[in-house]
Structure 1
Amino acid sequence: MERKNILITGASSGLGLEMAKQFAAKGRNLALCARRVERLEAVKAQLEQNYPDIKVVIKSLDVNDHDQVFEVFRAFNAEFEGGLDRVIVNAGMGKGASLGTGYFKANKETAITNFVSAIAQCEAALEIFRAKDDGHLVNISSMSAVRGFRRALTVYAASKAALSNLTEGIRVDLLGTNIKASCIHPGFIRSEINEKVEKVPFMVDTDVGVAAMIRAIEAEKTNAFVPSWPWAYMRHLMKWAPIKYLRAMS
């Protein structure tokens, strides 16, 4: 099924921006939101120039303002003929440090943005989809959801694990409806969040990694690990790896 009208949060940079570009190339209409609206304005201008047949609507959104999440999603839904078909919950952050080292504020911000604010986005999306018994919810998790990690990844990994479990619970709740829910677990994909990291095994460029994400999204897979090589296999190894191995990865 082709989902024509797609909302992407966190669309001003990184994976969200690249998803917008690649969906635009497929002729999809886009509802793009992020805090940095000036970046979105540039994205909108570029996409409309390159793909004049699509509709691009942008709005400023801080996903941690939960009331605003509902307002923005409803406004987007009203602006597209037939309403929104797919919502991609992509906005997130990776701030933080080892617990007990004085960075509670950063760890808390990551936990709220990646999980509590994702709940708000899922609620707002499913409110729209339940009204018409159709739609596709996509949550962008991470390979780090498979296990616990240390340092800056400690809370990040925990928040992504929570998001993965949330998506599965949503799928159970949606059985018997026409609404689909997918959880995408990207491996190491170059983006703004990790641009300063120099040596990471299996790292792929943003366009390559996002192309794999979009293939999984378009197939509406319930639980995808991308790019499939090596992450569809690595996730099994990671699940049973000794804890010393996890230390070496993070």
Structure 2
Amino acid sequence: MSQKKGIGKTALITGASSGIGQELAKLFAQDGYNLVLVARSVETLHRLSEVFEMNYGTEEVLVIEKDLSEEDAARDVYEQVKAKGITVDVLVNDAGVSTYGKFATETDWETEKSLIHLNVLTTTLLTKLYLKDMVARNEGKILNLASLVSITPFPLQAVYAATKSYVWNLTQSLVNELKDTNVTVTALMPNATDTDFFNKAGASDTLVTEMLDDPAMVAKDGYDALMAGKPKVVPGGIKNKAFEVMAYTMPQEMLASQMRKFNTPKQQVKEEAKSSGLAIGIGLAAVALTGIALAALYRNASWSDKLQAQYQYGKAKYKAGKAYDQVKHAVSEVLA
């Protein structure tokens, strides 16, 4: 039996009551970590605490009931943990929410303000407070939940995508700042995942909900990357890796249109598909195949091979762009 890595260490996990956060908490418990679990659903956290203690022998679990969208919530959590004399070895910023609808006319500012506070301000302050302690000890790890939409437009969830872009950018900047220390920061970039996220956002009937990843898989890939000190991880197989490549290479107008389609009610997509014919599907399939090929090449390629791949991509992008022009009008009509 392998030695548990987390014996004597503590992981603090926000959003631990469900979804990816709960799966991450389970992995930390299995690895011997003591836990600080933060969420609004305190009853769920207490039940989890009992399960972890019974199944994995978790020695200490501190449950903190907190709405992290509130002013000074991050500092309050930090002070509560500090008052208990607990050293946080790993911070997981998992808590996050979204809202659904057209930014100009359908979404509510108070909801969006709360979303920004949780996804950006709380994440930033928790990171700052604990990172300062970690750098002083020259030891520690932080996992920030970004998203694949942190590198794409995401119409109808525009503010959510913007906040995740912030988390992605902050994380990668910190990776550079910390390169001469033993402290690491990792961005977890999942695709759409089978949690209560879309239901809470009011987007439970959108097309993307038919192509959800397993939260246990997402958590495991994120946990492994965190432990290895990687700057980022895109969980899942070649499909998600190809999606990442496409996000960097597809024309932004086309990418925004496709992301809008994913975020459109399923019945509306079906009705529009009947009138748009096969052109859109063929064009997107061509780009997808290009992305998959590039992702497969990049996985094991040498530096010189990657330069060659970029050159080949340039030619492929030109051809894809011509195909895109042919279907641009149809796409605009369907997704406008």
Q: Same fold (TM over 0.5)?
A: yes
1:169 paired to 2:143: no
**Range moving further from structure 2, 66-75 or 165-174:** 66-75
**Range moving further from structure 2, 184-193 or 194-203:** 194-203
Other-structure match for 2:332: none
Higher strand share: 1
1:223 to 199, 222, 232: 232
Q: CA RMSD in A?
A: 2.3
Unaligned runs of 5+ in 1: none
Aligned ranges 1:20-169 → 2 under 5 Å? 20-77=25-82, 79=84, 83-103=87-107, 104-151=109-156, 153-169=157-173
Higher helix share: 2
Q: Secondary structure at the match of 1:189?
A: coil
**Divergent runs of 4+, >6 A:** none
**Range moving further from structure 2, 141-150 or 98-107:** 98-107
The answer to whether the 8 Å contact 1:146/1:238 transfers is yes
**Residues 186 and 77 (structure 1), Cα distance of their counterparts in 2 relative to 1, 3 Å cut:** farther
**Bigger radius of gyration among the two:** 2
Aligned ranges 1:4-23 → 2 under 5 Å? 4-23=9-28
The answer to whether the 8 Å contact 2:189/2:234 transfers is yes
Question: 2: distance between equivalents of 1:167 and 1:107?
Answer: 22
* Aligned-residue offset at 1:146: 1.2
Question: 2: distance between equivalents of 1:66 and 1:130?
Answer: 26
Deviation per residue, 1:50-100 (Å, 9 max, x gap): 12243222112222335342232244356467x211100111101242111
Question: 2: distance between equivalents of 1:230 and 1:77?
Answer: 42
**Residues 26 and 198 (structure 1), Cα distance of their counterparts in 2 relative to 1, 3 Å cut:** farther
**Residues 58 and 188 (structure 1), Cα distance of their counterparts in 2 relative to 1, 3 Å cut:** same
How many equivalent pairs are there? Answer: 248
Question: 2: distance between equivalents of 1:158 and 1:79?
Answer: 35
State percent identity of aligned pairs. 25
Unaligned runs of 5+ in 2: 264-336
TM-score by length of 1: 0.89
Q: Secondary structure at the match of 1:129?
A: helix
TM-score by length of 2: 0.68
Q: Secondary structure at the match of 1:138?
A: strand
Question: 2: distance between equivalents of 1:9 and 1:187?
Answer: 20
2:192 to 188, 194, 208: 188
Q: Secondary structure at the match of 1:186?
A: coil
Q: Secondary structure at the match of 2:114?
A: helix
Other-structure match for 1:239: 248
Question: 2: distance between equivalents of 1:197 and 1:44?
Answer: 33
Question: 2: distance between equivalents of 1:197 and 1:213?
Answer: 27
